[in-house]
Amino acid sequence: MDFLPWTIFARIVDRYDGNHRVRTLACTEHFRVLAFAQLTYRESLRDIEAVLSAQSAKLYHMGIRAPVRRSTLADASERRDWRIYAEFAQRLMVQARKLYAEEDLGLDLQETQMIHDLDGKRIIVTGAATGIGRATAEMLISRGASVALWDINPEHCETLVPDGTEDQTVICCDVDVGDGAAVASATKESVATLGGLDGAFNNAGIGLPSLPTHAVAETDFDEIVRVNFKGVWLCMKHQIEVMQASSSGSIVNNASVAGLAGFALQGPYTGTKHAVVGMTKAAAVEVAEAGIRLNAVCPGATKTPILRHLVEAGITEDVLSDLTPQKRIANPEEIASAVCWLLSDQSSFVTGVAMPVDGGWSAN
């Protein structure tokens, strides 16, 4: 814990509106406890308490001097978002693997990894300033990846750049993904700065106001095709060329459930997302033998800026929730988790897939 910068701890707590202290148990101590429990595959408070009692000497070495009671854990857990512990425990484990690689701790830090290993991966994220792109960038950075943040508003990405990290690089790039020269230049810059390319999340996209397909202006049609379809193709084109040199890599394209079904009043948007799904599948077959994986993620209704086009048409969040079997819309972090899995080595035999992350919408 002492080797993990305080800024990382504070940023993760603040990201989920957490308090830095809860009653008698300091937040940093609680993080240590939950991380230790996750490493030993303990889930219930009773199990965690038992582990803590049995491993008091190790906990003392970690900085926890007093017994941690089940009631205290319950009190703290009720007052914080569980995702705080997930992210912080992952950072603790990344650090632990470096510090204790040669020591016998009685557990395998590689095998007991709680979240997918993205530490050291070099990844491009497009559309990184807001929504799903931002949530994915935050998650990748929190798990130790070096990331190139692409957006037409790169200044909005600057708050994602961590402070004081020597073994992690995060850069912001001003990129219009529909501009071939800009994509080529940004790819070259990103690869040079990160030292290579292991993965990419092609997320940048735009929406249109809800209109019948025949009522859409030609200029609007051209623009959404340029960004949503051509933009993904341009990014894939340059990413694959780089990855072929190392015979490895994972690319994830954001396709939306609009790539799986027809959405009335969103014809051009639906068309571009169907195109992304088809192109992803075709390219996945083409480069599979080269060791490169391509998949598409298909989010359902998610709390992002692009959702406003549906809301403006009278399709409210309540309506979207009612259409989803889970009766709610997604948080961006839930889509980001799926993307991170597809980018990680945990999904090594998954390619050519259009994965719905939609609360059961596509199955209904």
Query: Catalytic residues, which ones?
Result: 269
E strands present in the chain: 21-22, 25-26, 122-126, 146-151, 170-174, 199-202, 249-254, 292-299, 354-357
Task: Name the amino acid, one letter, at 257.
Answer: V
E strand or H helix that includes residue 78? helix 70-78
Which residues, including other chains, have CB under 8 Å from residue 224's CB and lie 6 or more apart? Answer: 206, 207, 208, 268, 269, 272
* Cα angle for residues 235, 216, 201 (degrees, 5° grid): 20
Task: Name the amino acid, one letter, at 178.
Answer: G
Burial class (CB in 10 A: 0-12, 13-18, 19+), 114: middle
Strand partners, 150: 126, 173
Tokens 């940004």, residue located: 186
From CA 258, how far away is CA 145, in angstroms rounded? 30
Cβ atoms < 10 Å from Cβ of 360: 12
Which one, of 154, 30, 148, 177, lies nearest residue 92 by Cα?
30
E strand or H helix that includes residue 178? none
